[in-house]
Amino acid sequence: MKTIRCRINGDLYERSVPEHKTLLHVLREDIGFTGTKEGCGAGECGACTVIMNGRSVNSCLVLAAEADGATIETIEGEAQDGKLTPVQISFDTHHAAQCGFCTPGMVMTIKDLLRRNPHPTRDEVVEGIEGNFCRCTGYQQIIEAVLDAADNGAAEDIVARDAVAARLAPVDPVGTGAEKGERDA
Ligand code: FES
Ligand code: FES
* Same domain, residue pair 127 and 92: yes
User: Which ligand does the CA of 37 lie closest to?
Assistant: 1
Residue 138 pLDDT grade (very low, low, confident, very high; cuts 50, 70, 90): confident
Examine residue 15 and state whether it is found in any structural domain, yes or no.
Answer: yes
* Same domain, residue pair 95 and 52: no
For residue 170, the model assigns a pLDDT of 83
> What range defines the domain where residue 156 resides?
86-162
Question: How many C-beta atoms lie closer than 10 Å to residue 176's C-beta?
Answer: 11
* Same domain, residue pair 157 and 97: yes
* Same domain, residue pair 63 and 7: yes
Examine residue 167 and state whether it is found in any structural domain, yes or no.
Answer: no
* Same domain, residue pair 105 and 152: yes
pLDDT surpassing 80 at residue 180: no
Strand-strand pairing, 2-8 and 71-73:
parallel
Q: How far is the CA of 159 from the centre of ligand 2 (A)?
A: 28
Ligand 2: residues within 6 Å at CB? 97-103, 134-137
Q: How far is the CA of 48 from the centre of ligand 1 (A)?
A: 5
Continuous H helices in 35-178: 86-93, 103-116, 122-128, 139-151, 154-165
SS3 state at 52? strand
Examine residue 183 and state whether it is found in any structural domain, yes or no.
Answer: no
Domain end (from 77, 97, 112): 77
> From the alpha carbon of 99, which atom of ligand 2 is closest?
2
Phi-psi region of 55 (alpha: psi -120 to 50; beta: other; left: phi over 0): beta
Q: Which of 55, 109, 71 is nearest to 87 (CA)?
A: 109
Q: How far is the CA of 24 from the centre of ligand 1 (A)?
A: 9
Mutation to probe ligand 1, out of 26, 34, 37, 45 (largest number of atoms < 8 A from CB): 45
CATH number of the domain at 16, please.
3.10.20.30
* DSSP count for the chain of H helices, then E strands: 6, 5
Examine residue 174 and state whether it is found in any structural domain, yes or no.
Answer: no
* Same domain, residue pair 63 and 104: no
What is the longest distance spanned by two Cα atoms in the chain? 50
* Same domain, residue pair 60 and 13: yes
Examine residue 66 and state whether it is found in any structural domain, yes or no.
Answer: yes
pLDDT surpassing 80 at residue 179: no
Q: Are 61 and 79 in contact (CB under 8 A)?
A: no
Examine residue 171 and state whether it is found in any structural domain, yes or no.
Answer: no
User: Which ligand does the CA of 96 lie closest to?
Assistant: 2
Q: How far is the CA of 181 from the centre of ligand 1 (A)?
A: 31
pLDDT surpassing 70 at residue 114: yes
pLDDT surpassing 90 at residue 130: yes
**Mean pLDDT in residue range 134-159:** 96
CB-count burial class (<10 Å; 0-12, 13-18, 19+) for 160: exposed
Total domains in the fold of the chain? 2
Percent of the chain with pLDDT over 70: 94
CB-count burial class (<10 Å; 0-12, 13-18, 19+) for 89: middle
Q: Which amino acid is at 108?
A: M
- Give strand ranges (E) for 9-128: 11-17, 49-52, 55-58, 71-73
Look over the chain and give the mean of its residue pLDDT values, rounded to a whole number.
94
Ligand 1 contact, 4 CB (< 6 A): no
